[in-house]
Amino acid sequence: MRKSARFNPDFPHLYLMMNKPLGAVCAVASDSHPTVFSFLDDEKKKQAFLAPRGVRLHTVGRLDSDTSGLLLLTTDGRFSHHITAPESAINKTYLVTLKKPIADPAQQEDYIKKCAAGLLLPPDHKAQQEKSAPARLTFRSPDICTITVTEGKFHEVRRIFRALGNEVSALHRLSIDSLQLDKNLVPGQYRELTQEEILSFKK
């Protein structure tokens, strides 16, 4: 049986981890924001702009301009699809700062239970009202929590908290599956994934 290209050394691909800065967009070009590709060296920019389709460097999913943290870029379309497809149910964990602190333990527990059951997400631009899959919520303080989602719906985390009657004032992605954002990367910096990190997604 033919092996998947992302795990076959005969088909080398590029896999990058970036600490996406606030204000940057996951687009090739923008008139109003810097793009994540502007932080790459010249050789990698060529892979993003000049390489043929199928081996072009692209972002694995998107983070909006107001979200920072772990972003993956790759030339491997199968790798991207595996991570972003809802049926893969890959965990994505975010650090959330809430606009309205929740100090009451009972209200925190109510938030946790509602996230675990799934919420009816309000419409947001192109996204219609829809149900979210179960999410795991943990409070670190009244205004700081982490949330783990698996779907990647449009503005999903922000819409979850709107459904709970709150707002997100800051959002930072910490991890994708078992891959943690490298703490040595300052915003805008990136590095290649290790072979072990790439293969961890095979599971």
Among all residues, which ones are annotated catalytic?
64
Cα separation, 151 vs 162, in Å, equals: 17
**What burial letters (b/e) apply to 133-169, b meaning 16+ CB within 10 Å?**
eebebebeeebebbbbbbbbbbbbbbbbbbbbebebe
DSSP string of 26-78, one letter each residue: SSS--SSS-BGGGGS-HHHHHHHHTSPTTS--EESS---TTEEEEEEEES-HH
> For strand 120-121 and strand 92-98, is the pairing parallel, antiparallel, or unpaired?
unpaired
Residue whose pair of structure tokens reads 């929590």 in the numeric block: 145
Q: Which residues pair with 131 in a beta bridge?
A: 120
